[in-house]
Structure 1
Amino acid sequence: MAVVTAVGLVAAVGAAAVHVLIFWMESIAWEGPLARRAFGGTPEEARPHAFYAYNQGFYNLFLAVEALLGVALVVLGAGSAFRAGTALVLYGTGSMVAAALVLGLCSPAHRGAALKQGALPALAIICLCAGLLPA
């Protein structure tokens, strides 16, 4: 496996970890201190939005699972498993980048959060695509 591909896979795992953390904050600990520091407001202000955050958290979890499953297939597989894993990683991280772009474009106040959300998946995409290029 090329070094650039390995870097891409590590970045994908990092991106998945960030999205699992976001899932935890949105779906499990929405009114807790970590989520309130990340998203602002008080627990009382957050409470009316808990249902929406719960749902949104699962979107983040599903993207993380998709990317992690893809990484596992790439690392453990060859041939069609490698190709399927690469497709899963690229689709999962591509969706993460798209969500970060939407956040950054729709809310200038959240561009920093969008950058944090999108940097690792963008690095994963760049490295994985570079690794797919013929030598």
Structure 2
Amino acid sequence: MSPSYADTIKLVEDNYFHWEFSMGMKLARKGLLPQIFKPEYDQRSDRSTAEWKTNDLKALGVIAGDVSLTYQVHIRGALTAADAWTLLEEQFNRKTLKNRLIVTKKLNNFKMELGIRFANHAG
């Protein structure tokens, strides 16, 4: 029995890694994973064919359909499924340089007032 629409995982602010895995599996089941991750053994496939473009639009639609409306703004400019995937990864993946800089800035601005217990400051 196939999963219902209600069982799909929408990307929201705090579930990127869970969504990423589920989306990868969903694309794989539909045969659309090569639109995102081009296998090393398939470097010669032609991305200009009508079939590739059709599958790419399908993959882009699947990805966009499982992103909450709040975050679809991040992929509106994407022309390919791989572009949308990369844009979302850059936005949500905490390992990116942008997110490292944000965390570093927050850490540098983390100041505690004199006489306040750390538990009260952090909580």
Measured against the shorter chain, the TM-score band is 0.3 to 0.5
Question: Higher RCO, 1 or 2 (CA under 8 Å, sep at least 6)?
Answer: 1
Greater gyration radius: 2
Query: Normalization by structure 1: what TM-score?
Result: 0.30
